[in-house]
Structure formats: structure tokens, C-alpha cells
Structure 1
């Protein structure tokens, strides 16, 4: 877990959660931007969710992903009274459960999968492979189908299924960011999340913004700087920064 130095409990702290089969590098640009401004940041590697160990991915249930993230949340809470959650991809699903339990200052969703695999975009990408005579996308898709243990894929489906109906229980301000050209998470996921957040009238404000080109790993793609500016604006407008 990475921390910046901060002694003032009234200053916000940030918990950044990576995606399925990923690692903290997926959210590092945001972590760096916040640390430069002097804020406390935690970006843990979550066992069973990271592809650093296939063995771990095959051993852990999604409830244990949530537990690991919650331990990181509690550790931050000992140093700050104001916690902001930001989750990339499956990290966004985990963040929902933490937000329901702990009611943070705000929550940020990046490429969070309510619907995954945009088949139309995949076919477009494969068409580009043929046109360019370079099977870059094909290699990526073939690698993705064999990269993860079956147990881990099953746990992903479980957390996706058990989280879809719970967005309405989130009470804090929310920002949803989604790439229109994301082939891993269908762009309609963002609208589904917004609808879920608005399903209960007492919910605080929720905002949605799309980017293109962006790809799936939003903070490491061509829309990185735009996304970072949008996040910082949201945090400022929400009187968090």
C-alpha cells in the first residue's frame, strides 16, 4: 500500500482500487496527481483480483476481494475522517459495497462493468487488424480468454451479478467515467450505473462523462489527461478538494 504523508484528519484521503486481473498501475496516474497535491493515497494490490499470481486468483472468492479493500479503507480511516473511493473496472464494483457500508465523501467509477465485452467494438477492432495486416487485437483477445483461472472468472460474474442492483444504496456524490470505444466494458454500463444511482430519490448528485478515444484502462489511455481533469473538477465542485 502506498501512502503520502498527511497529518490533518480533516483533509480527504483516497482509496484507489484496481481492476480484475490488473494492478495499481491502472490507477497510478490519479494516485500521482493526488499525491502531488499533498493528499493521502492508498492503492493496494488486492489478492485474488490481481493477475500477479494465478494461484491467488484461483483461491479467493469475491467476498475476500471486498474484505481486503475494506481493510485498506479502515487503515485510511485511522488517518483521515474523509475518504473518497475510486474504482477502475471491477474495482468500481468493490467500491459499491464499501460505499454502502461506510458512506464515503464521494465515489468515482471508471470503466465499471455492468455489461462487458462490446461485441460490435470487438468486430471493428478485428476489422482493423485485417486492414492493417497486424493481428494486435486478435492476440489480445485470445490471450484474455486463457489468462485467468475459471474460478476467478466465476467470482467476477458473481460480484457483477450481486452488485448490479445495489447502486441505489449508494448515498454519496458519484462520478462515472466511461470510454465509448471500450471493448472490454460496454459503454452502456455507465448509463446503467447512473440509472441505478438515481433509482432512489434521496441520492446525492451523480455525474456521467464519456470519452473517445479512451480504451479500457482509462487512466493509461489517450483520454488520461481529460479524465484526470474531470475527476479533479468533480472533487472541487463537491467541496472535497
Structure 2
């Protein structure tokens, strides 16, 4: 006989902290969060001021240093850790990088790294990125921004059209802001440098999910994780999606991979014989 997820007391159930991408919002992680909740995890997907984006704030909001993003992520982790025996950390794009920085500071039980961006080298990265060092000069940094262009990390054409419409009308969509400020990109490069030197410290189970045709971050980011993480990660490649794995054509498979990985490493509930319940597929 197997227990249902509800049979485990809340505090015994592992929690999962999911971090969205830079200048994005929690919507992009909702399919994964929903699947995890359906198998019994307690999931938090916080909207973080100064890191995420809302239509109201837009690009007018100043961008704080990445240390502020990390401090906010630590606060979110600590709040979950106070209530739950174990907390896994996951993220998409720069959220995966922020999750790695967090795991170097806090005892994350497992890592879920989706479209991890340690290098901006995907096939749709504009040549203007070569000019980024110029944009990082303090007097230009707060003034310059860069337009996001199709395919917006999506191979699914219907979703792509919806995103383009949302960006045109409100400057923000489920995949993030219509423009990225130079200040935000500058802080993301500082965060990447910070994380790169700490990868060897991270020995917990790690799941790496990445598109073979990621338009923002090519395979090099995955290869770096495989070479430098303290323990070899479990890697899955996706051939029918771009950067926004959690929303694109294979979002259901992505969510299932995350559930399967966490159920193996952080069981939600088990029968007296130690057998996992069979609610694997959301």
C-alpha cells in the first residue's frame, strides 16, 4: 500500500524553491510548479523585486547588485528551511545560476538546473553582445537597454505569437520583459563569475535540462556544469524546444523529468516498506 502525498505531514514534505529568469516572472515556471505540487511537494516560486519584472515597474525600476538578488533568495530559502526538513532549489536561465549561488551558501538538498546560462552563446544571441563591455560603463549602464527578439526562447509558434503580442501591448510577458537593461545584464555577468568559482563545492544531486538548440545559451554551459560541479549531474537534452523549456513544446516532459528526479532523491512519502508512491506523472 502506498501513501498519498497528503498523508505526509507538511513539515515532513520536502519543499522546492524555484527561481525564475532575469527580468522575468514566476509565470514561466508554473507548469513545473504545478506538476511538483501534484505529487506532493510544497513549492514556492517567488517574484523578487529588482530581479524580476512587472508591467507596472517595467524598466524604470533600478537594478540592484546581484548580491541583493542572492540575499533575497537566501531569505526565501531560510523561510522554507524553517518549516521543512529539506529544500531543493531549482531555476530557469539566470534563475538556475542564482540557484547555484544560493546552493553554495545554503544546504540545498538537490538542484534542478533548466537552461542554465553560464555563457550567452546561443544561436539567437545578437552581435551587439560583443559591445556589452561598452554598455557596462557606469554612465551608460543605467541608460542602455536591448530589445528582445523572436523567437523569444520558444520553438512553439503559437506561444511565440502570443508572447510577441503581450510584449507589444504591455512590455512584459510570461517569458519576461520586452527589453533587457544593460544594468541587468551587467549584474548577470557578475553573478556568473561569482558562481563559476564555486561549482566545485556543490556535491548534491543535480539535474540539468537543456535544449539542443537553445537560442540563448548553447551546449557550452552544460559542458561546464558536467566538468566543474562537485558531483556529476544527471543531464537530459531536449530536441523540440528552445531556451524556455518550461513553456515550450516539451514542457510536459520537462515537468515529468523534474518530478521523477526529485522523487528519487527527495521522496515525498513512502509506504512502510520504503516504496515510493506511484504519483510520478503529473
Using the size of structure 1 for normalisation, the TM-score is 0.81
Change (3 A) 1:17 1:146: closer
Alpha-carbon distance between aligned partners in 2 of 1:145 and 1:154, rounded to the nearest angstrom: 16
Which residue is equivalent to 1:132?
none
Residue aligned with 1:219, SS? coil
Contact residue 124 and residue 216 of structure 2 kept, 8 A: no
Q: Which residue of 2 aligns with 1:37?
A: 39
CA distance in 2, matches of 1:122, 1:187: 17
Choose 185-194 or 113-122, whichever is displaced more. Answer: 113-122
Contact 1:47-1:60 within 8 A present in 2 as well: no
Alignment match, 2:60: 55
Deviation at 1:8, TM superposition (A): 3.0
In the TM superposition, residue 7 of structure 1 has moved relative to its aligned partner by 4.5
Q: Which residue of 2 aligns with 1:195?
A: 227
| 1:212 and 2:244 are equivalent in the alignment | no
Q: Distance in 1 between matches of 2:185 and 2:259?
A: 33
| Cα shift at 1:89 | 0.6
Unaligned runs of 5+ in 1: 127-135
Q: By percentage of residues, which structure has more helix?
A: 1
Aligned partner of 2:199 among 167, 175, 186: 167
2:249 maps to 1:222: yes
1:68 alignment partner in structure 2: 72
Q: Which has more radius of gyration?
A: 2
Query: Which aligned pairs between 1:99-110 and structure 2 lie closer than 5 A?
Result: 99-110=103-114
Tell which has more relative contact order, 1 or 2 (C-alpha 8 A, sep 6+).
2
- Does the 8 A contact of 2:53 with 2:177 survive in 1? no
Is the contact made by 1:9 and 1:80 (CA closer than 8 Å) also made in structure 2? yes
Aligned counterpart, 1:133: none
Query: 1:21/1:12 Cα in 2 relative to 1: closer, same or farther (>3 Å)?
Result: same
Q: In structure 1, what is the Cα distance between the partners aligned to 2:240 and 2:10?
A: 39
Change (3 A) 1:178 1:8: same
1:27 equivalent in structure 2: 29
Instruction: Determine helix, strand or coil for the equivalent of 2:213.
Output: coil
- Shift in Å at residue 101 of structure 1? 1.6
Q: Give TM-score scaled by structure 2 length.
A: 0.70
Distance in 1 between the 2:123 and 2:262 partners? 34
Conserved 8 A contact 1:19-1:87? yes
State the 4+ residue runs in structure 1 displaced beyond 4 angstroms.
Answer: 120-123, 143-146
Q: What is the aligned counterpart of 1:235 among 259, 262, 265?
A: 262
- 1:17 and 2:22 aligned: no
Q: Name the CA distance, whole Å, in 2 between partners of 1:41 and 1:10.
A: 14
Q: 1:27, CA displacement in angstroms?
A: 0.8
Does the Cα contact within 8 Å between 1:122 and 1:183 map onto a contact in 2?
no
